[in-house]
Amino acid sequence: MSESATSSPAPTSAAGSAAVTGKQPNKIVVRFKSIGNAPILKKSVYKISSTQRFQALIMFLRKELGYKVSEPLFVYVNSAFSPAPDETVYNLVRCFGLDSQLTINYATTPAWG
């Protein structure tokens, strides 16, 4: 997926009514945890822009691991599900984060159906 498709438009609120306040934080703390045989990252906690899509997070993880697109990598939130790649990181942390942190699990074989 290209970067143009993964960028997120600003909500109407940003340019709309003055009463609408944008409290969205710029950065989200993401914690990566490997499962099974997946290699462990040297650094497991990163900050990522809250407007990024989940796809960008997967691409980032692949880059850090040095994984090619052809190599299998399964990425989950909260040891449970893989969100749609076009979901924003901000939506994910608001719904599934703990203390404003998002936990991402990754594996080289499917871990949760």
Partner 1 sequence: MDIREAEMKAPLQRVWDGMIPIELQLAAADAIELLASAVLPEPFQTFYLLVPRVSYFPFITQKIKEWWLNPMFALSGGVPGHRNAEIKDADIWFEYRGQPLKWHYPVGLLYDMLVARGSRGEPELPWALTLHVRKFPVGKLVAGSGVQNMRDMFMAMIKESDFIRNGSTKRVMDLSKDDQMQFLDGLQKHEFEKYSAIHAIIVPSPNDVRPMTAAAKNGGGRPGPKAIPLKFYMETAGAEESAAKDPAALPDINMFHVSQFPVPLTNKDKEGEPTTVADAFRLCYEISDQGGDAFVTSRACLSQGIAVPWETPISWLAENLYYADCFLHLVVVEVSERI
Contact residues for partner 1, defined by CB under 8 A = 1-2, 4-5, 8-24, 55, 78, 80-88, 91, 94-96, 112-113
DSSP for 38-70, please give it.
PPPPS--EEEEETT-BHHHHHHHHHHHHT--TT
Q: Which is nearer to partner 1, 43 or 99 (CB)?
A: 99
Nearest approach, Cβ of residue 53 and partner 1 (Å): 10
Minimum CB–partner distance for residue 112 and partner 1 (Å): 8
Name the maximum alpha-carbon separation found in the chain: 51
C-alpha distances (whole Å) from 54 to each of 35, 38, 86 are 19, 19, 6
- Tell me the closest approach of the beta carbon of residue 42 to partner 1, in angstroms: 29
Considering beta carbons, is residue 41 or 96 the nearer one to partner 1? 96
Nearer to partner 1, 64 or 87 (CB): 87
Q: Which is nearer to partner 1, 30 or 92 (CB)?
A: 92
Cβ neighbours for 40, distance < 8 A, ≥ 6 positions apart: 34
Least separation in angstroms between residue 86's CB and partner 1 is 6
